[in-house]
Chains A and B, each alone.
Chain A
Amino acid sequence: MSTEVAQRYVGASVARSEDPRILTGGGKYVDDVKLPGMLHAAFLRSPFPHAKIVSIDASAAREAEGVVLVYTGEDLEAMIRPGPYGISLMMNQDKPAFSCLATDKVRLVGDPVALVVAESRYLAEDAIELIDVDYEDLAPIATYEQALDPTNPPIFEDLGSNVLAESDLHTHGDVEGAFARADHVLSVRINQHRHQNVPMETRGFLASYDREADHLLVWSANQGVHLALHILAGRLGLSPEKIRVRTADVGGSFGLKIGATREEVAVAAASMALGRPVKYIEDRYENLMASGQAREEYLDVEAAYSDDGDILGMKVHMVVDAGAYPGMAAALPTMVEGMLPSAYRIGALEFRSTVLVTNKATYVAYRGPWAVETFVRERVVDLVARELGMEPFEIRMRNVVTRGEEPTSMITGRSLDGVTVRESLERMAETVDIPAFRRRQEAARAEGRYLGLGIASYIEAAPGPRAGQSPLGLEQMRMELDGDGKLLVYTGQMPHGQSHETTLAQIAADEFGVRFEDVRVVVGDSDLVPPGFTGGSRSATMAGGAALTTARALRAKVLELGAHLLEANVSDLRIEDGAISVAGVPSSAMGLAELVAAVQEPGRLPEEVDTELKVANSYDGGAGGWSGGTHCAIVEVDVETGLVTFERYVVTEDCGKLINPAVVDGQVRGGVAQGVGAVLLERAAYDERGNFLAATFMDYLMPTTMDVPNIEISHLETIPLDPDVNFRGIGEGGMIVAPATIVNAIEDALAPLGVRIHEQHLPPARILELAGVVEPE
């Protein structure tokens, strides 16, 4: 049946359904929601990284103008049940124990200590100033070394130390054999620095408890309403049916806005105590300091390689700085270990990991959370090339797998079915003339100019191949035809920039046979949409596939009904442009609104016919598949100013069949922009005493129009693995591979100065140190 469907919308850069509202000020974000009698919350936060709370005096704040309520951590203890917050819901960690707001001690700069609810946010912030907290300093744990030092006090007493998790040594393949065969071993420590999501809309939350109905309505900027609902129910001791979570437009997230956080649960508890709506909108200072940060880890790597440039094996110890409260960090090492070989024929890997607790913000998910596997591997490939005096591109071509040849899976186990990294490298070599660049680079060097070319490749399980895997999960979807003959699509996806209202409608319209304009995608209401969330670059395959199969199921139902109404065989019927007709008999056409009305007419159809124009369906991911590709940056490094400028940035990527090319390109470019920020600008900096140094946009530098280059993109839409669904996710790829690409280019530029780079953050000051222009600090 699918072959009959005319693909009118899928594959075209259809204009976004979201645009008319966001371009006119008609978008509705959580801070735009106003409820009658609404109050406003603000939090007092710790100025110290690690301190005992000796006493809190909130009496003056309680008396202050407009203040309705002040809660300390102690006040909330009786109202809130222990358990996970935020993304740690997915991590299954039973330790450490901690409270909603700080009680005994504070564990990072920004730890919430007290909540003030007042008639306005201005008055709530005034009252915050009146709370007097007596702190007793504890030794801050702000570096890997401090966290590993057993003489330092544990941040969480029940952990007994500042080691959150430590893995055994895992061995894949013949590691000792690989190292014995190797001509050389490269030993490096490669660092990634702490940086963070920084959506332009901060976190926001509005709780409204109705005492009479014993019902909690929540508006939350979130990636999935049911995860938030689940945490709220657990922490507040409410049954899930008593909670409705709604999400308005969401101003970006990139992994940050998952579940319900400590602050959000505290605000919900306040609303329940007061029986009034309470809104909390995080300010930017709080967002940078305390919403969550990511990426701080290093890998000690030994890489065994041959004279010919074959990378034979690696031994890795990964150390993660998890920050204070539980987030995503404990889950990372397993992801990094599994993905480290990627599309390369690396035949042996030894891996162990240590996850440390520090007095910093919680380690949260940030676009491609495991991306250090790509950064480290692609750095190692270039370092090996440099040691051997080989072209990095050639080393990649030598080591990446070829489809149809062994190995067909990574040494860590995952199938490489459908991986096209080799093809993306070949496309890159057609797009960028590397030998011509080398000639130009040499001429420039003779003039004292430093040009560099960097290449890096990646794959992402978006959602991953089914072959040899555990199930990919189920994506649920509901569809119905309304009385106007419009198609309603209910999805658990919660778009926050990804354009799902457009892309899912494209798929549904094509498959069902209605106009794009006649499809409405419904998101963000736990009373209406099935469970789900947007993340992990899964929505293209999972929700795209759910849209296709659910539309197909509803279409079959409508055809069945149409067969009765038009007295024809199902196989002779067509649904096109919102009308059902007998093929070749245009005069038989019945509009879908007319069909809905006819179906509901008593006696029109035999009683045994199912007349419900609704379908609930779930999709299992089909054959799944990888996304992936290769990026190339050409840069010039000014060794007098330390500034890096881009001459060219080229992407060759494969996310399977494109649903909406403009949406795909937007995802790729946005990811690359975050990679540019990560390397050249952004750092969530702490000093060695745990003081946070980047709490404003004057200190935490975001990439602007002057920093992000134009990006050339070419798509390889290769290797269909599934008969129907070959859309694959592209949300994270740009951010996964751009940092390695840019650092590889910078090292290439500075190579004549003997520079080797083992870190990711390269602001001008660091470039000048590396170039030997200034002395390292």
Chain B
Amino acid sequence: MNTIDVELTVNGERRSATVDPRKTLADVLRDDLELTGTHVGCEHGVCGACTVLIDGQAARSCLTFAVQVRGSQITTIEGLANDGELNPLQQAMVDSHGFQCGFCTPGFLMQITALLADNPTPSEPEVREALSGNVCRCTGYQSIVVGVLRAAGGSSIATSAH
């Protein structure tokens, strides 16, 4: 099969790979660039685990071919912390016990990053709407929603028990 050279900027760093045209961005990130923080949950664009930022926009890396995004700026979960310090969103998720098994987590954090860039102080319904395309099987979502509201510096939801 013919291969194609792909140049990307990933988490601020120039990266390149020589890949099959059919190889998904998720697989290139994970296999070729060894950034395994991005997870693949359904490979058909529904669960959102593979969400990354492509030029600032949240996108499904399982439905994107790497060759489609040559030259783009990609941000993955590995790009959120600054020099090993958790960023405010990550810290808010620690404080809220946001996640459990951690598999959906990268996709949620990237989707939330995109949300907060657009709308730094979302309401609870806005958070729920924005995250409705990401599936978590462990938490029932409440702790994640609380984490987003906490990261946004807003008040917590009324029924949060802790």
B140 contacts which of A249, A672, A714 (Cβ < 8 Å)?
Answer: A672
- The 6 A-B pairs of least Cβ separation, nearest first, read A25-B37, A251-B103, A22-B102, A669-B140, A497-B101, A673-B140
What is the CA–CA distance of A202 and B1 in the complex, to the nearest angstrom?
29
Supply 6 further A-B pairs (C-beta < 8 A) apart from A24-B78, A666-B138, A706-B129: A25-B77, A32-B36, A200-B136, A201-B101, A669-B139, A702-B137
Asked if B4 lies at the interface with its beta carbon under 8 angstroms from chain A, I say no
Instruction: Find out whether the CB atom of A284 lies under 8 angstroms from the CB atom of B137.
Output: no
- Nearest-CB distance from A32 to chain B (Å)? 4
Q: Which residue from chain B places its CB closest to the CB of A663 in the assembled complex? A: B97
Instruction: Find out whether the CB atom of A697 lies under 8 angstroms from the CB atom of B135.
Output: yes
Q: Which residue from chain A places its CB closest to the CB of B1 in the assembled complex? A: A65
A29 contacts which chain B residues (CB < 8 A)?
36, 39, 103
Q: Which residue from chain A places its CB closest to the CB of B107 in the assembled complex? A: A200
Q: Which residue from chain B places its CB closest to the CB of A705 in the assembled complex? A: B128
Instruction: Find out whether the CB atom of A497 lies under 8 angstroms from the CB atom of B161.
Output: no
Given A32-B36, A496-B101: A24 in contact with B41 (beta carbons within 8 A): no
What is the CA–CA distance of A661 and B143 in the complex, to the nearest angstrom?
13
What is the CA–CA distance of A462 and B87 in the complex, to the nearest angstrom?
38
- Nearest-CB distance from A185 to chain B (Å)? 39
**Residues of chain B at the chain A interface (Cβ within 8 Å):** 1, 20, 22-23, 30, 35-44, 46-47, 49, 76-78, 80-81, 86, 90, 93-95, 97, 99-106, 109, 127-129, 131-145, 157-162
Instruction: Find out whether the CB atom of B93 lies under 8 angstroms from the CB atom of A698.
Output: no
CB contact list, A666-692 vs B, under 8 A: 666, 669-674
Asked if A713 lies at the interface with its beta carbon under 8 angstroms from chain B, I say yes
**Of B35, B42, B46, B100, most A-chain CB atoms within 10 Å:** B100
- Number of residues of chain A lying within 8 A (CB) of chain B: 59
Q: Which residue from chain A places its CB closest to the CB of B81 in the assembled complex? A: A24
Asked if A254 lies at the interface with its beta carbon under 8 angstroms from chain B, I say yes
Asked if A590 lies at the interface with its beta carbon under 8 angstroms from chain B, I say no
Instruction: Find out whether the CB atom of A252 lies under 8 angstroms from the CB atom of B103.
Output: yes
What is the CA–CA distance of A283 and B26 in the complex, to the nearest angstrom?
14
- Nearest-CB distance from A516 to chain B (Å)? 14
A663 contacts which chain B residues (CB < 8 A)?
97
**Residues of chain A at the chain B interface (Cβ within 8 Å):** 13, 15-16, 18-29, 31-32, 65, 122, 198-202, 249-252, 254, 283-284, 496-499, 661-663, 665-666, 669-674, 696-698, 702, 704-706, 708, 710-714
A669 contacts which of B42, B43, B132, B143 (Cβ < 8 Å)?
Answer: B143
Q: Which residue from chain B places its CB closest to the CB of A675 in the assembled complex? A: B140
A22 contacts which chain B residues (CB < 8 A)?
99, 101-102, 105
- Nearest-CB distance from A714 to chain B (Å)? 8
Q: Which residue from chain B places its CB closest to the CB of A23 in the assembled complex? A: B90
- A selection of 7 A-B contacts at a CB cut-off of 8 Å is A122-B22, A252-B138, A661-B162, A669-B141, A697-B135, A705-B132, A712-B159
What is the CA–CA distance of A4 and B152 in the complex, to the nearest angstrom?
42
What is the CA–CA distance of A704 and B129 in the complex, to the nearest angstrom?
10
Instruction: Find out whether the CB atom of A670 lies under 8 angstroms from the CB atom of B99.
Output: no
Instruction: Find out whether the CB atom of A665 lies under 8 angstroms from the CB atom of B162.
Output: yes
What is the CA–CA distance of A499 and B36 in the complex, to the nearest angstrom?
22
**Of A21, A24, A27, A65, most B-chain CB atoms within 10 Å:** A24
Instruction: Find out whether the CB atom of B143 lies under 8 angstroms from the CB atom of A200.
Output: no
Given A25-B78, A200-B104: A19 in contact with B94 (beta carbons within 8 A): yes
What is the CA–CA distance of A26 and B36 in the complex, to the nearest angstrom?
8
A21 contacts which chain B residues (CB < 8 A)?
102
A24 contacts which chain B residues (CB < 8 A)?
37, 77-78, 80-81, 86, 90
Q: Which residue from chain A places its CB closest to the CB of B131 in the assembled complex? A: A705
A249 contacts which chain B residues (CB < 8 A)?
101-103
B43 contacts which of A32, A283, A702 (Cβ < 8 Å)?
Answer: A283
What is the CA–CA distance of A362 and B146 in the complex, to the nearest angstrom?
38
**Of A15, A200, A665, A711, most B-chain CB atoms within 10 Å:** A200
Q: Which residue from chain A places its CB closest to the CB of B135 in the assembled complex? A: A702
Instruction: Find out whether the CB atom of B102 lies under 8 angstroms from the CB atom of A710.
Output: no
A28 contacts which chain B residues (CB < 8 A)?
36
B136 contacts which chain A residues (CB < 8 A)?
200
B47 contacts which of A31, A200, A250 (Cβ < 8 Å)?
Answer: A200
What is the CA–CA distance of A497 and B158 in the complex, to the nearest angstrom?
25
B95 contacts which chain A residues (CB < 8 A)?
15
Given A251-B101, A252-B103, A706-B132: A20 in contact with B37 (beta carbons within 8 A): no
Given A122-B22, A697-B42, A711-B142: A704 in contact with B132 (beta carbons within 8 A): yes
A497 contacts which chain B residues (CB < 8 A)?
100-102, 138
- Nearest-CB distance from B25 to chain A (Å)? 14
Q: Which residue from chain B places its CB closest to the CB of A121 in the assembled complex? A: B27
